[in-house]
Amino acid sequence: MKKKLLVILIAILCITVYSILGVLACTEFFSGSWPSANPLHVHVDSSASAFTQAINPFCWNYKTSKVFFPSVHVGGTTCSSCKVFIKYGFLPYENVIAITQNYTSKTKIDSWMSGSWVKSVISINSRQVMLSPTTSFEFGSASNFLRQLVIVHELGHTLGLKHQILYCPESSIMWRNPINSSFNTPRPHDANTLVTKYGP
């Protein structure tokens, strides 16, 4: 009788501890990652098909053997092997150039920073963004150089890279305000970050 009661009490204790740890774990920031980022096939939605020239994930290849973008599929055909999706359209309530969301399951809500990602969606805003009284940015009418810059930056997020913090002495495509950059491909610092995250 005492043994059974003890077993029940231990079971209750285990459930409680597990629950508390689960809640605490959710309050921490964990950078998730791909179970395998080699290969990561990219699918470009028909809404973004006009910008395929600027969609260059290949510049992220060969930084580490663990990350490889082999192909870009364009248009409405289903791509079952694709894990990265790029679309273009009007984002409501957002004065933003683009947003990347990584998902741990097919449902939108479970896109947590921790966990193992199954897909990534890059949403490019068609909204015009004023940068200063004399300059504005609109992806649809931007140069191919700038479009690629935006896409490569967002693909960095797809791979789990965060914005480069302020006053970082090293140049990076992950600088949070890269529109004035003179480059539109990953820098050595980005490659090093990728190696740190995924291994050589």
Partner 1 sequence: MSRYRCLIAIGIVLVVGLGILAYRHIVPTITLTSSTALYPGYDTAENMEYASEVVVVVSVVGKGKSKDVNDWLYTFTPLKVERVFKGDLLPGERIEFAERGGYERKVTGLYFIGREDYVHIKQNSSYLLFLIEEGDTGIYFTTGGPEGKYVWPLPQEATAENLEFTDCWGVDLDLYNSILARYGGN
Binding site for partner 1 (CB under 8 A): 1, 4, 8, 11-12, 15-16, 19, 23, 26-27, 29, 32, 91-103, 108-109, 111-113, 117, 129-133, 137, 150, 153-154, 157, 160, 162-163, 165-166, 176-179
**Environment class of residue 58 by beta-carbon count within 10 Å: exposed (0-12), middle (13-18) or buried (19+)?**
middle
Q: Nearer to partner 1 by C-beta: 1 or 35?
A: 1
Nearest-approach distance from CB 196 to partner 1, in angstroms: 16
Q: Nearer to partner 1 by C-beta: 65 or 114?
A: 114
Nearest-approach distance from CB 23 to partner 1, in angstroms: 6
Q: Mind giving me the DSSP string for 72-100? A: EEESSS--TTEEEEEEEEPPTT---SEEE
Q: Are strands 98-103 and 72-74 parallel, antiparallel or unpaired?
A: unpaired
**Environment class of residue 163 by beta-carbon count within 10 Å: exposed (0-12), middle (13-18) or buried (19+)?**
middle
Nearest-approach distance from CB 74 to partner 1, in angstroms: 22
Nearest-approach distance from CB 8 to partner 1, in angstroms: 5
